[in-house]
A and B are shown apart, each in its own frame.
Chain A
Amino acid sequence: MTLIKLKDVCYSYPNTCGIKNLSININKGEFLCLMGANGSGKSTLLQILSGLKTTDNGQYFFKNSEITEKYLSNNKQRQKLHQQIGMVFQNTDVQLFNPSVYEEIAFGPKQLGLSQNKIIKRVNDCLKLTNCEKFRDRIPYQLSGGEKKRVALASVLALNPEILLLDEPLNGLTISAQREMLNLIRELQEAGKTIIMASHNYQQIKDFAQRFIIFKENHTVDADLTQIDIKNSPDRQKQLMNL
């Protein structure tokens, strides 16, 4: 089932191009990795998908509704969209604003009209999955970079979105924390979630992601390949290793 359909999408910042002429379809349950050099447009694409930015040109369809400024100006539609699409920012600092890790994670579920017990269970589950139990009462602001990434993921998971947008979520994590997070993401995908993740480290995720969209420096798409396509092409592997 096609969840996301992008047609010729362009987005420009006041004095630079963000992405150019992007057309892709994303199906339910995919584990998709956006790869490309710094500044090639990965974060911009994720922001468009999340509804934070709207396209300058071209169309973005989510479950057959076109996402436009007008669509998003309807409160109900916008909030429904945010329930279904969760995002971990590249700069996690700005994402955490609650006075404790526990409250940070409870922030989403509290809005969903769940019972108190269900909220507590959700938060505890998320703390456990992301291995954040140790600092549940600390101030998110004072955590280390890697810890913040995990708390941010937990706070997004607590809303149980169908699509997870992850912007370089492994940056700043130790190798073992990277492994834990990748496995968790993989399991979420197996449970039916759609994963769209930006990365510039091929080595790290080559066995996890199933589809790779590779951006060129000029903000267009270079290739759209499966894991197997890349494994069969030494040239491609070399290119990705050197990103």
Chain B
Amino acid sequence: MKPNKLNDLPDWIKNSNYNYKVNYRKSLWKNNRMHIKNLLSSLAQPKGVSYVHRRGSPGVNLIQLLISVLLIVLIHNITLLWIIYILLLFKLLFLNPQQLRKFIKSWIIGSIIASLLIIPSYWLTGISTVLYFTIKTSLILANAQYYRITTPFQELLTGLKALHFPDMFIMIIAISLTYIRMLGQNLFLNLEALELRTVSKNKHPYKLIGAIFGALYLKSCDYAIELYAAMEARGFNGHYKSIKVKNNNFKDFVTLSPAIIVLLLFVLWRK
């Protein structure tokens, strides 16, 4: 292609004059832009998960989580609870510092929120019950959190499948998780684009919000249809392929053994 002349540019475009009389007053969105952007970008970009120290197969990891949670709920023996705590701490040794920080941060926040919910029972039953439930809840949170930061999304699906969850259930989880992320991403990019063309105070911010969410809604309708069509086009027929899970794997056994030991202790320990 060779350059040739087609248009006559209008005069206004030929000079760059930026002395517009515009009002640069603050607005809510602009003041909070960093917060909103950070929030949306963390929704849009799933935090990295580590694949390094995976031990068991997906199904076994999920079973391990379920057993741990079940045990924590059922156990009334403080010593056994401590054993579970220690096992958890041992697992944490294998996390890298960055993950550990993430783990501790969200665990503490979760535990504080949980204990706030439990505190009213102090007036009904006394301090020991409150402490007891706080310990249990924070243990459950810790286990769930550990699973979350060490398990890629795909592995959760594989795990659910290996445990014979119905396909419908898996599909709903799969679509809604991918979907929410994608909508978050879309909204985030919309706002970025908006920011670039916001060159002064907006006179009709509410109209604008309407327009953005309208566009997002249209996008989301189309996206849901396209997503399903694309899944069908790639051979999806409503069934998630069952993925071979090696049952008698030594690693799986190692992964499960702490939970099993605690389980046995729980069953056999009668005072």
Contacts and interface: CB of A to CB of B under 8 A. Distances in A.
A and B bind: yes
Indicate the member of B5, B196, B211 with the most A CB atoms within 10 Å: B196
B74 interface: no
A21 interface: no
Interface string A185-199: 011100111000000
Interface in A81-125: 82-87, 89, 91, 93-99, 107-108, 110-114, 118, 121-122, 125
Contacts of A207: 1-3
A159 B84 CA distance: 63
Q: At the interface, is chain B mostly helix, strand, loop or mixed?
A: loop
Contacts of A182: 1, 3
Contact of A111 (B48, B198, B215): B198
A184 B199 contact: no
Contacts of B7: 129, 183-184, 187
B22 A156 contact: no
Contact of B16 (A95, A162, A180): A162
Interface string A143-159: 00000000000011101
B12 A83 contact: no
A184 B1 contact: no
Contact of A112 (B10, B20, B48, B189): B20
A179 interface: yes
Given A94-B186, A207-B1, A82 B6 contact: no
Contacts of A157: 13
A75 interface: yes
Indicate the member of A13, A107, A193 with the most B CB atoms within 10 Å: A107
A192 B12 CA distance: 12
A97 B193 contact: yes
B14 interface: yes
A50 B197 CA distance: 11
Given A159-B197, A207-B2, A15 B12 contact: no
Nearest 8 CB-CB pairings of A with B: A94-B189, A76-B24, A95-B193, A97-B215, A111-B200, A125-B10, A112-B20, A162-B16
Interface of B: 1-7, 9-10, 12-16, 18, 20-26, 30, 34, 45, 47-48, 186, 189-190, 192-203, 211-212, 214-215, 218-219
Given A187-B6, A207-B3, 15 more contacts: A15-B48, A50-B196, A51-B196, A79-B198, A80-B18, A94-B193, A97-B193, A107-B197, A156-B197, A157-B13, A160-B16, A162-B18, A191-B9, A193-B16, A207-B2
Interface of A: 13-15, 50-52, 69, 73, 75-76, 78-80, 82-87, 89, 91, 93-99, 107-108, 110-114, 118, 121-122, 125, 129, 141, 155-157, 159-160, 162, 178-180, 182-184, 186-188, 191-193, 204-205, 207-208
16 contacts: A50-B196, A52-B192, A79-B24, A79-B198, A79-B200, A84-B18, A107-B197, A111-B200, A111-B201, A113-B200, A118-B12, A125-B13, A129-B7, A160-B12, A160-B13, A182-B3
